[in-house]
Amino acid sequence: MKKKAKILVGLSGGVDSAVALYLLQKQGYEVEAAFMKNFSEKVNIKGTCPWKEDRLMAYRVAAQLKVPIQTFDFEAEYHDKVVNYIFDSYKAGLTPNPDVLCNNEIKFKLFLDKAMKLGFDKIATGHYAQVKEDKNGWHLLRGKDPNKDQSYFLAGLNQKQLSKAVFPIGDIKKPEVRQIAKQAKLVNADRKDSQGICFIGKVDLKIFLQQKIKPKVGDIVDTKGNVLGEHQGVWYYTIGQRKGLDIGGSGPWYVVKKDIKNNKLIVGHVDDEALYNKSVQISDLHWLAKEHKLPLKAKAQIRYRQPGQEMVIKSPKPPLSRGLYEVEFKKPQAGVASGQIIAVYKGKELVASANIV
């Protein structure tokens, strides 16, 4: 990337994106900032997104660094693409991953397109991930800090998006990021990290979903069919969930299946075979750079911060439907949920992703 490239930095109000902006400025790039307004009380969905505090902090950081900043209002698009996706997925019995979709559709699509139209060369965010270029294209690598690596959330990006992405803190560990912020006396140096999707962050998931998915009482049963209690709606639970079941007996209990058709929530113990999967089916297999030949031995994550699990992606064979592939794990995996994203790694590079069926 040439010096003096114009880079638009997505400022969230958090310390990570603030340090990303600070570092790019120090390195001599022409930088400006933008705050993405994705959710507010205007939408007919109640949540707890502190967007006003976040925007104020983003503007304070930009003012401190003497960097121009503007606000992009993506609220309507975010509601259509991400919020509706959450409700639709849970209603269908799936477990969605809105963080991945937000990166695909908002940050590295709408935000990127806006930046390009405004004459910027690249966009930058505070993600803990790295992008490298070689003769085979652009490659997404894990962040240097194993405790903060966020490459999983970027698993749906393509070559165009990767070619325009800059992750200034991807090769820095979190404690060092905090230290840089303090040394630079950034106004948000001590601000706590945000947790999860902003508008669900402090809201009970069941209460949030009940705004659009009405309760439907049914039985909670064990894997042998014994009735243990009642649920208010199978869609309010996630596979592998332990808390919030409110049933007694010889627990702890874990959700192993959501039977939407019969309105039953099936639970089991931690040593119950029903909780584990040795293989899963995946769809929409997406290669971030070059396509690898199958079968492919690699490591994969089925959730954020999970250590890489040895597995093989196999070519589709009958009775698999067209477009479906099979992933076979070396060790059975607990809490595999349909609708989640599987991220495939070769070494530190994230090479592919897919939806768990």
Residues that are catalytic: 102, 198
Task: Check if the beta carbon of residue 239 is closer than 8 Å to that of residue 335.
Answer: yes
Q: How far apart are CA 51 and CA 8, in angstroms?
A: 20
Q: How far apart are CA 75 and CA 79, in angstroms?
A: 6
- HSE of 254, CA atoms in CB hemisphere, 13 A: 16
Output the CA angle 21-189-3, nearest 5 degrees: 15
- Which helix H or strand E contains 70, and what residues bound it? strand 69-73
Q: Is the peptide bond before 332 cis (omega within 30 degrees of 0)?
A: no
Residue type, position 224, single letter: K
Q: How many helices (H) and strands (E) does the chain have?
A: 9, 17
Q: How far apart are CA 180 and CA 88, in angstroms?
A: 42
Task: Check if the beta carbon of residue 4 is closer than 8 Å to that of residue 30.
Answer: yes
The conformational region for residue 284 under phi > 0 = left, psi -120 to 50 = alpha, else beta, is left
Residues 6+ apart with CB under 8 A from 326: 279, 280, 281, 282, 313, 314, 316, 320
Instruction: Count the residues in the chain.
Output: 357
Task: Check if the beta carbon of residue 275 is closer than 8 Å to that of residue 240.
Answer: yes
Q: How far apart are CA 180 and CA 275, in angstroms?
A: 44
Q: How far apart are CA 103 and CA 341, in angstroms?
A: 13
The conformational region for residue 21 under phi > 0 = left, psi -120 to 50 = alpha, else beta, is alpha
